[in-house]
Structure 1
């Protein structure tokens, strides 16, 4: 009874309420970013942006500016700069590897020369969800509006690009411009998740819900909806369990998202068709690829 009372008292605290709101907003936009990561086949993006965020954080601490804001700006600029190299998934993955190496080298050099406390920078990478600020909630709220809106307004173009870049180009899609927008959104979304779970565990908010959704849906819209639903379920349930058992929320969210992804993975084939394959859609060059 005492534990139950303490649990309900915790929910009266503003930091706990703000963290829950941030997780709900994050579940609306960030899992859709995971769908983009899977569609563009850019899994290394999370690691690259983690290192870029560290570099931005180091610059922020050095200059006295908001470290997370600097990390956010650094990720956005880096995402935009990758567009010319994103001619193919292989080229983009290679660019991410180069960016990762340069970013971590720059971060370590900055920390070493300036005497910045490295522990403080790395602590931000682990996240502190109860330290979520109003500005963090606002950023996640903006992403929760912009990302679904982009999908609704550009569903056909996104479907073509995520399915086949060459097919999208032949169909008149402005591939470079759309790729630029997507890479910036991916980078900003990864940076936005730093406060909640840390860059090292940001997959709980982005990739894992999308991986589960891919097993549950047989179309791009269905995958997006399923990813958001899984994200909401995982974020709310994981955070409630973390508060109840007094555990760090980040790892609990990852374990919850991983458990859902594993659960849907072992479902019978008839219940998890996944994203249509190239063979299933090879005849749809007119742009109806996995869009309905």
Structure 2
């Protein structure tokens, strides 16, 4: 079954959207969209460094994203505003990654696949990494759900309950870095943030509880993965962008349905 490249592509997309769906809820609740963009730009630098030093793409992206996140924390602690620090780091990482790739012969084509995604070219190893990373993210979120939710909704209440909001924010940062690495071959570095935000935003129209929103976001993401992959095969369009377009369509339908219901 896994010898079929289409089946592998669908499974890879499903694995990625299950993780991005739940984590995307925290991105929406915490208004971390710009931070997600910074992680995505860091992924470009991670890919470039991986190509330069012949490292695993997944390892290079995770390490680079974590380094960018730690530098961001240091800059904000030093008095820089969050949006300014993120802007500097995101665009510096993107520019540096593109410069490094320009110095590598034959690397431009490889980078293109990671910028826009290449889900239909995933192999068995890629599939194992994607699902392994997704299960780790889901497992940690399930384990830390109550603490993360408390720290997200009310930092003061979290402190009163003995929960350190800064540590939970750092945990979410690590999970974001892992998700970026997992999803980069599915939708590409330029569209990873969309996969985090759009399904969660669509789910927000119907969910009455945080848990309900997380489940709805996973369902919306899975539906977008299936519709996007099918549309890509039918119309011969790039699969990653097609998945994001399908997610945007689901979001549009959710907005219309929400207004009709109200």
The TM-score with structure 1 as length reference comes to: 0.78
Structure 1: 5+ residue stretches without partners: 1-10, 273-292
* Pair 1:72 & 2:68 matched: no
* Pair 1:174 & 2:164 matched: yes
Q: CA deviation at 1:85?
A: 5.6
Q: CA deviation at 1:18?
A: 1.1
In 1, Cα distance between equivalents of 2:196 and 2:44: 19
In 1, Cα distance between equivalents of 2:212 and 2:158: 20
Pair 1:85–1:139, CA change in 2 (3 A): farther
Pair 1:199–1:104, CA change in 2 (3 A): closer
1:214 paired residue number: 204
In 1, Cα distance between equivalents of 2:113 and 2:226: 24
2:153 to 159, 163, 182: 163
1:48 to 34, 38, 48: 38
Structure with max Cα Rg: 1
1:149 to 139, 150, 154: 139
Q: Which has the higher helix share?
A: 2
Residues 194-234 of structure 1: CA distance to partner in whole angstroms, max 9, x if unpaired?
A: 10111112245321111101111121111101101111111
The TM-score with structure 2 as length reference comes to: 0.86
1:289 paired residue number: none
Whether the 8 Å CA contact 1:58–1:116 is kept in 2: the answer is: no
- Structure having greater relative contact order (Cα 8 Å, sep ≥ 6): 2
In 2, Cα distance between equivalents of 1:182 and 1:12: 32
Aligned-pair Cα RMSD in Å: 2.6
Structure 2: 5+ residue stretches without partners: none
Q: CA deviation at 1:65?
A: 2.3
In 2, Cα distance between equivalents of 1:168 and 1:53: 32
1:126 paired residue number: 116
* Pair 1:265 & 2:262 matched: no
